[in-house]
Amino acid sequence: MKGKEKKQATLFDALIPIVCLILFLGISILKYGASPHVPLMGGAIVAAIVAIFKLGYAWNELEESIFVTIKMAMQAIVIIMIIGVLIGTWIISGIVPAMIYWGLEILSPQIFLIATTIICCIVSIATGSSWTTMGTVGVALLGIGQGLGMPAPLVAGSIISGSYFGDKLSPLSDTTNLAPAMAGNTLFDHIRFMLYSTIPSLIICLILYGILGMKYAGQDLDMSQINLIRDTLVSSFNTLSPVLFIPPMIVIGLVIFKVPAIPGLVAGAVLGFVFAIVFQGASVGDIINAAHSGFVSNSGVAAVDELLSKGGLMSMMSTVSLTICALSLGGILEKTGMLEVLASSILKFAKGTFGVVFATMATCMMTNVVAGEQYLSIVIPGRMYKNEYRKRGLHPKMLSRALEDSGTMSSALVPWNTCGAYIYGTLGVSTFAYFPYAFLNLINPLVSLFLIAIKFKIETLSPEEMAKIENESEDPA
């Protein structure tokens, strides 16, 4: 199909697929309890129709943009698949059961949520990856929490909070490097400036988790149930020796030493394969089945079977397909300028520094909802607002922090976003269930805006920096 002369998208054009998407999602999820896959495809179809018949784009242009956008997330898709394999091999090898067993030995309800958050903070700072943290120690901590009688959504919220704290501040994190790159800031200036909003947010989170932990500590702890879980784990595996902690420690060490995520996680899955043979006497066929379809526990104890029956490559296929559906819509909206016109409309209402920061954060969150990809929620607003911050004399660190406080943090709160879908696939807790308990992700954007509202640490460009920027813009090269 040959494209007509292209027209610039208007706000009305951009709102057509957005409104349709909201309607499709609302009807499908709220009325029928369906997954968001088909509604996202419906939104992409509507966006394509508007692009072709109203804006003059050819289908091959839209198709190319879809594939380019999906390609941006291919690393994330591959990681999702490997994590599924890793979880399957780590369960059949006894690695995850060992972490649950020993965790039940040393942790108690009153400190569990705080300890979980801090553990995930440390691991994600060391690895630079919230995904690696949630897919390894997060899975084990969720099992421990359930063993202690705590609701899975509450435990998942503390895991997510800790994981995103470290991911947001670690110099090894891809988003922590991406945000300053988009804003024109340096990495360590960016990290230092984020401390002002992130540390207070974490303190508030720990207080809230401490209060909730005390609530559960006030209840009688069913030691018989905990002992039953521990005894069943012991009887189901040949050994649960602490030597089984070696693979997680190696994976964390590989990431710390800047081994790329994919080979690092593959190494973890291979170690799980080897440990399953050496320590559990598992057959090669059983390990392959666990890696592909997930481990199936038949202990006869419902609590243990629920904890351990998970993982496998196929368990992640729904997440992979959801990611592709979301990115297909995002690719069309970005290519046709619909996302840009939506953001520009928001910027019209931006008065003063608070207004422009609020507009930036709103755009990041909107991009996470509409485009379904965390990277796009940083790249697109970063590109769009960079010059606006310069014109207002605001330092790039103001932009880079706004990108992370909203784009990074809100990604976990959208079910069809790659991050929200990954969390559901990995922890098995729906976004709507853990949403109220992911305190850091909810609180951090509010703290960030509060600091702007009280004019705390409003960083501006010096006259010399402004002059340099003006010279750069005048330079024809």
* Residue closest to 158 by CA, chosen among 374, 408, 358, 440: 440
Distances from the Cα of 256 to the Cαs of 83, 150, 249, 266, in angstroms?
18, 31, 10, 16
**What confidence score (pLDDT) does residue 429 get?**
93
Quote the CA–CA distance of 96 and 240 in Å, as a whole number: 9
**How far is the C-alpha of 256 from the C-alpha of 17, rounded, in Å?**
42
Q: Tell me the two tokens of residue 222.
A: 């069913």
Residues of the chain with pLDDT under 50: 1, 3, 476-477
Q: Residues 476, 381: contact at Cβ < 8 Å? A: no
Report the alpha-carbon distance of residue 261 to residue 254 in Å, rounded.
9
| Cα gap 212→216, rounded to integer Å | 7
For 263, the enclosing helix (H) or strand (E) is helix 261-280
Query: CA nearest 85: which of 305, 272, 324?
Result: 272
pTM above 0.75, yes or no: no
Identify which of 129, 98, 103 has the alpha carbon closest to the alpha carbon of residue 115. 103
Task: Give the Å distances, CA to CA, from 246 to 93, 95, 243, 379.
Answer: 12, 9, 6, 37
Q: Which residues are bridge partners to 247 per DSSP?
A: none
Enumerate the β-bridge partners of residue 460: 394
Both tokens of 218, joined, read: 């006030």
Residue bearing tokens 């300028």: 337
Domain ranges of the chain: 75-316
Q: HSE-up of 146 (CA within 13 Å, CB side)?
A: 22
Identity of the amino acid at 361: M
Longest dimension (CA), the chain: 75
3 state SS of 440: helix
The pLDDT tens digits for 319-364 are 788 778 877 888 898 889 887 787 778 777 778 899 999 999 998 9
Q: Name 1's bridge partners.
A: none
Pairwise CA distance, residues 198 & 183, whole Å: 19
Closest CA to 367 of 319, 423, 438, 419: 419
Return d(Cα 112, Cα 61) in angstroms, integer.
52
* Residue in 199, 113, 119, 156 with CA at minimum distance from that of residue 405: 199
pLDDT score for 126: 61
Is 385 within 8 Å of 360 (Cβ atoms)?
yes
Residue 386 · residue 186 · CB < 8 Å: no
Residue type, 151: P
User: pLDDT tens for residues 26-59?
Assistant: 788 767 877 778 888 998 999 999 999 999 999 9
Residue-level pLDDT at 1: 46
- Predicted confidence at residue 3, as pLDDT, reads 47
pLDDT given for residue 122 in this prediction: 82
Pair 176, 406: CB distance under 8 Å: no
CA 451 from chain center: how many Å?
Answer: 24
